[in-house]
Amino acid sequence: MKNKLVLVLLVIAACAFVACNETTPECKYHRETWDLSTAKSERNWEFDQNNREFFCYFTVPQLTPFIYNYGNWSISREYNKGYNNAYQALLPLSHFKSDTLEEQSVVYYTQYIDYRVGAEYVEIQVTNSDYLYAPTNPETMDFRLQVGPQAIALVVNQEDWKFDNQARQYYARFDVPEIPADVFKDGQWSIHRVYNMNTMDAFQVQLPMSCFMTDTVTNKSVVNYTEHINYRVGIGFVEISLRNSDHLYVTDPSGQIKRPEDMDFRLQLIY
């Protein structure tokens, strides 16, 4: 009788463990890794004329809506894949490069490699400083997508943004008790901005990030500038900051600086 009771309890415990790992976001699940590779061909790299960048789109069915909503991920570029001297660099990353353009002149520039993630897809983006591009597509690149546990939503409403006159930037601070001293010391984290939250078109971009913007400033003139969004993390808090290049900020009809729009972010923790 005792043996039967023990067996029944073990079966119930196993079923509870499986159900928990399949259905509840509170459960922890092991890190998994998937390889993403591009080829130097028109089939893989495409050019976005509006954003002046190359991109490569990957369908990743393993990145399910459950993992997208409650999981954590990172993407690394893998160099020398398959060799003893292989190594990885976490995205976003930048490289100082030189190349020959169509007029055969040698130029120096910085290449930025970034990504965005949505349910069941990943998009890799390559942008060069000053939008300088060689006549060929970017080289073949290997990437590695890793997923792991716990994501925390951070929502900044327009009225939550505060302006730091000394740093000339907006910021929003969050109390995050999920980052105690031990997680801050030994854990890892990343923060993404979430676009189109709670829609089928939702996607995320890892911070720090920059966006090319066009708007009207105090003297009613139309200007182009870059919006930089960054963050800092400490024990028990996260602070999101937003700064515009040349400190250009949008104004309302009365000439007052308008706060940035509502924004959604996601803090992802690994520990």
Would you say residue 41 has pLDDT above 60? no
Which residues are CB-contacts of 88 (< 8 A; sequence separation ≥ 6)?
76, 77, 78, 79, 144
Q: What angle do CA 211, 212, 218 make, to 5 degrees?
A: 110
**H helical segments located in 64-223:** 65-70, 181-186
Pairing of the two strands 72-79 and 53-59: unpaired
The residue-averaged pLDDT of 28-36 equals 48
Predicted pLDDT of residue 263:
92
Pairing relation of β-strands 203-206 and 188-195? antiparallel
Is 90 exceeded by the pLDDT of residue 13?
no
Q: For residues 152 and 179, what is the distance between their CA atoms, to the nearest angstrom?
A: 11
Alpha helices in 24-136 (DSSP H): 65-70
Task: Pick 102 or 94 by higher pLDDT.
Answer: 94
Domain ranges in the chain? 1-30, 32-148, 151-270
pLDDT at residue 85 tops 70:
yes
Q: Of residues 57 and 269, which shows the higher confidence score?
A: 57
**The model's pTM:** 0.51
- Mapping DSSP to helix (H, G, I), strand (E, B) and coil, where does residue 162 land? strand
**Residue 92 φ then ψ, to 5°:** -75, 150
Q: Which of 112-116, 128-132, 178-182, 244-248 has the lowest mean pLDDT?
A: 244-248
d(C-alpha 126, C-alpha 47), whole Å: 9
pLDDT at 190 over 50: yes
Q: Is the pLDDT of residue 6 over 50?
A: no
What's residue 5's pLDDT?
33
DSSP run (H or E) holding 5: helix 2-23
Helix (H) or strand (E) holding 72: strand 72-79
At 253 the pLDDT is: 60
Neighbours of 114 (CB within 10 A): 21
Sign of the Cα pseudo-torsion (48, 53, 146, 238, in order): negative
Burial class (CB in 10 A: 0-12, 13-18, 19+), 64: middle
Q: What is the pLDDT of residues 227-241, one digit of tens each?
A: 899 999 999 999 999
Do 231 and 255 touch, CB atoms closer than 8 A?
Answer: no
* Dist CA 90 CA 217 (whole Å): 36
**What is the model's pLDDT at position 102?**
67
Cα 76 from Cα 193, distance rounded (Å): 18
Cα torsion angle, 112, 45, 51, 100, sign: positive
